[in-house]
Structure 1
Amino acid sequence: MEHHSSPLAGRRIYDSDHDDPDPGPEPGRRYAELVGGPLDGQLLDTTGWSSEQVDRGVALIAGAGFYGPGGRALYDPRPGDLGRWDWDGDLP
């Protein structure tokens, strides 16, 4: 029997507990891949977000960004591909 895994399997969810033995995506949830910047490769859970929330993008806490712990990384949805959000810089 052939096993097909999700292309998101094994990816870390943004803001998941570092002690979580399985920090990967859960079935039935919607995720966006963060591309570039300090959170590159992590997944953002956008399940239940309205189109207005998605259109605004996000400022996520990123300990490894330009401003260090407590700084925020800006990510915006990629036009035509809501499954990927591109880094747009850092804020203090």
Structure 2
Amino acid sequence: MSQVPRVYGSERDGPESGPQPGRDYRELTGGPLDGQLIEVTGWTDEEITTGAYLITPHSTYGPGGRAAYGPTFSRPAGPWVWEGDVP
């Protein structure tokens, strides 16, 4: 039995912690949020290709630090990869 990935920002054991029908997501790979999904429903193409700085308590900079994730040139519609931590 495989585990459903958790959506970034959702409650760990909440009823809607997994992906919801009709919404668009990118998988986060590597770094402190590895295996989670980020919802990009309603984002512009520019926002999606830019990536995001996501707050995480597991950053190199501690609670409140951010992990940078973004698409790769070879797979712009694929998973977002960890690019490092920022304060």
CA separation of 1:54 and 1:22: change in aligned 2, threshold 3 A? closer
Residue 57 of structure 2 corresponds to 63
Q: Which structure carries more strand by proportion? A: 1
Residue 28 of structure 1 corresponds to 22
Cα distance in structure 2, aligned partners of 1:56 and 1:22: 26
Displacement of 1:55 in angstroms is 1.7
Displacement of 1:82 in angstroms is 1.8
In structure 2, stretches of 5+ residues that fail to align are none
SS in 2 for 1:78: coil
1:42-61 equivalences under 5 Å are 42-61=36-55
Task: Give the total of aligned pairs.
Answer: 85
Q: Which is higher, the Rg of structure 1 or of structure 2?
A: 1
In structure 1, stretches of 5+ residues that fail to align are 1-6
Cα distance in structure 2, aligned partners of 1:25 and 1:81: 20
TM-score, normalization: structure 1?
A: 0.83
TM-score, normalization: structure 2?
A: 0.88
Cα distance in structure 2, aligned partners of 1:73 and 1:24: 21
Displacement of 1:77 in angstroms is 1.0
RMSD: 1.7
SS in 2 for 1:83: coil
Q: Which runs of 4+ in 1 moved over 4 A?
A: none
Residue 85 of structure 2 corresponds to 90
SS in 1 for 2:31: coil
